[in-house]
Structure 1
Amino acid sequence: MTERIKEIHAESGGNYGSPRVHAVLKREGTRVGRKRVERLMREADIAGVSPRRKGFTRRDPKAALAPDLVERDFTASATNRLWATDLTVIPAGEGPLWLSAIRNAFSRRVVAWETSARADADLVLTTLEYALASREVEPGQLIHHADHGCQYTSIKLTTRLMQARIDAFMGFVGDSYDNALAENLW
């Protein structure tokens, strides 16, 4: 069991903690308790990146970098090959309104957008679902670029991206050059 946990953790680039490792094992049909996964990870000195720490978008220096799927080239050779997504807050009289949008790098047009009073995984997942419903996406041909925000690293979103056979790429954390290139699409 510990060896499989190590494999899952390594495949995540060192990001997955016990909840995500447990979710992967469960999805694979392995019957194991969440607390057992926590204990085995602790005993093997394996830890994920916690989104609750101050500066939650900082990368664990011991973790391997995820592969750079776009090589800092935020252009696309055809439609629905590269989507960039982000969240922004809009101040409103009744409280903050969060806007989630996905933009096609080829046409530079917004593919889908959604608003909510909460910046959570459901908001970005709903936006993705609208984008997939409105576009014909070839499985294995699309890269979904986001930052390391907890909404984009959620189990809900990453599972849906895997189901749709969409490659996820998260920009280099704290790299203002990478962020500027991606945000240039906006």
Structure 2
Amino acid sequence: MKILIQQVFDANYRVYGTRKIWPELHRQGHQVARCTVERLMRELGIAGAVRGRKIRTTIADPAAERAPDLVERDFVADAPNRCWVADFTHVAAWAGTIYVAFVVDTFSRRIVGWCGGGAALPSR
């Protein structure tokens, strides 16, 4: 079966992933489970092409001093409004990439504040 998967992968410019290789094997008359195709592709070390570009949110400066860990990685609070943590992420949108910052209450695990929008990077 590995040989068949490798043949389908190579015949399709080495860009097909499990989602396309599995139905192609069925069209060729080979009844195989999708999870088997996934496992064999991992064993072969092959993967389909991934669309889009990787977003790099942070470029670390090795010479810069790291901010202190004030909560010592303990994200549990005994009561509301005792410990808040902040983070940011990016969201894909039609206009491009939008960055969103948010503050989470560690007791309730709820977002207590957020800010998004601002500058968006155009998608290319």
Which structure carries more relative contact order (alpha carbon 8 Å, separation 6+)?
Answer: 1
Report the structure number with the largest CA radius of gyration.
2
Higher helix content, 1 or 2: 1
Instruction: Name the TM-score class by shorter chain.
Output: 0.3 to 0.5
TM score, norm. by length of structure 1: 0.29
